[in-house]
């Protein structure tokens, strides 16, 4: 059972983006498959959000938060794409989970031990390969509408 003060993710997302559309909830087994395949534990706030709805689109259909299966697919692609290895710094230290619709991605930082210890969220700018801090947790990303 979530803490009393836990955010209701749909309410937060709707407040930040009135055109948000939500998918059905992800299952524990779907999240476990992502964690096993990527060898990482999902941050608790992302896990809670995905259990409430498995992805959300907004801003004319952009994948603000991806489904569990797309999180897996995109992270595997970013880590194995040979062309990316020549164009960008490594992506092994980022867990991508969504995008702004203009090509930039949102990610949690993965520490040297292969786990996520902080809930800080970064924007990866695809044109410059910059990794810019956005928020100290997922809830704040929506409160500040920092994804725009």
Distance from the first to the final alpha carbon of the chain: 32
Note the pTM of the prediction, 2 decimals. 0.90
| C-alpha of 96 from chain center | 5
Max avg pLDDT among 2-6, 57-61, 65-69 = 65-69
The DSSP call for residue 52 is H
Please name each of the domains of the chain with its CATH number.
9-143 (3.40.1580.10)
Confidence of residue 62 (pLDDT cuts 50, 70, 90): confident
Dihedral of alpha carbons 102, 103, 108, 109, sign: negative
């Amino acid at each position: 059972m979530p803490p009393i003060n836990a955010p209701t993710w749909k309410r937060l997302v709707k407040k930040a983006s009135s055109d948000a559309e939500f998918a059905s909830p992800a299952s524990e087994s779907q999240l476990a498959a992502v964690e096993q395949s990527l060898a990482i534990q999902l941050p608790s706030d992302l896990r809670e959000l995905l259990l409430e709805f498995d992805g959300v689109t907004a801003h004319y259909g952009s994948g603000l938060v991806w489904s569990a299966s797309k999180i897996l697919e995109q992270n595997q692609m970013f880590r194995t794409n040979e062309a990316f290895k020549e164009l960008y710094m490594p992506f092994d230290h980022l867990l991508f989970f969504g995008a702004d619709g203009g090509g930039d991605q949102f990610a949690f930082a993965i520490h040297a031990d292969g786990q996520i210890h902080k809930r800080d969220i970064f924007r990866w700018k695809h044109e410059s390969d910059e990794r810019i801090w956005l928020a100290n947790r997922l809830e704040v990303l929506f409160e500040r509408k920092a994804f725009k």
